[in-house]
């Protein structure tokens, strides 16, 4: 199987898929970019975090001033909750369909999300938790409060936040952490010192180490 980028009426998202490079590796990384990104942006990060995993990387379908996102917002940090819910279910359905087309195992899908992508990954965990086995969330905010807190007892979640982030307030990160803990998830929160919304090597290294521990 070769690398492929395709947009079809069946799958609905422009996306990039790369099969696992190691026979017997069941892990597929669901890469979810930040505002203004695309389906190519996080592939180098995915390769750094887990070199032999399969990759499924869709492009967000919502445009904000021409920049792709995964759901609408009304202002900085103010989300359109109804659109967020709709887009979360739409993305979950896409992953399910992609698993059938490409033959990867839904029980071993790990989301790697940055900013807007981390937020919709968090929403997937809260609204459609069966889609993800684990998640690596860089710069997440709490996307919404679910009507019922799901059971996330089988989920492993790595969160990374910058202590100088001008976009994601510290209390947002801590609220999401507490919500995941309340849901029973195994959550690790990494604070990257002296850094804002951009990613730092230290947190990427910490996420890579955390991921490696899942498969020992």
- Which residues are identified as catalytic? 115, 165, 197
- Distances in Å between the Cα of 91 and the Cα atoms of 112, 175, 178, 215 are 14, 24, 25, 26
148 class by beta-carbon count within 10 Å (0-12 exposed, 13-18 middle, 19+ buried): exposed
Residues 121 and 145 sit within 8 Å (Cβ to Cβ): no
Complete edge-to-edge strand list for the sheet that includes strand 156-162: 4-6, 15-18, 54-58, 28-32, 109-114, 134-138, 156-162, 186-192
**Cβ contacts of residue 129 below 8 Å, gap of 6+?**
150, 151, 152, 155
Structure tokens at 15: 């996306």
**Cβ contacts of residue 2 below 8 Å, gap of 6+?**
none
């Amino acid at each position: 199987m070769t690398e492929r980028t395709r947009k079809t009426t069946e799958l609905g998202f422009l996306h990039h898929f790369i099969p696992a490079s190691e026979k017997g590796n069941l892990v597929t990384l669901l890469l979810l970019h930040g505002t203004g990104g695309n389906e190519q942006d996080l592939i180098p990060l995915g390769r750094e975090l887990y070199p032999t995993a399969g990759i499924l990387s869709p492009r967000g379908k919502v445009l904000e001033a021409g920049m792709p996102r995964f759901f609408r917002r009304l202002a900085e940090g103010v989300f359109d909750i109804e659109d967020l819910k709709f887009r979360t279910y739409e993305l979950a359905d896409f992953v399910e369909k992609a698993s059938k087309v490409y033959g990867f195992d839904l029980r071993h899908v790990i989301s790697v999300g940055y900013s807007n992508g981390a937020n919709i990954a968090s929403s997937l965990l809260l609204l459609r938790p069966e889609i993800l086995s684990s998640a690596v969330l860089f710069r997440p905010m709490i996307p919404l409060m679910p009507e019922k807190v799901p059971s996330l007892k089988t989920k492993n979640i790595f969160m990374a936040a910058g202590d100088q982030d001008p976009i994601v307030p510290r209390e947002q990160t801590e609220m999401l952490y507490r919500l995941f803990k309340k849901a029973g998830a195994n959550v690790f929160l990494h604070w990257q010192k002296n850094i804002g919304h951009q990613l730092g090597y230290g947190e990427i290294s910490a996420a890579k180490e955390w991921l490696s521990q899942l498969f020992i």
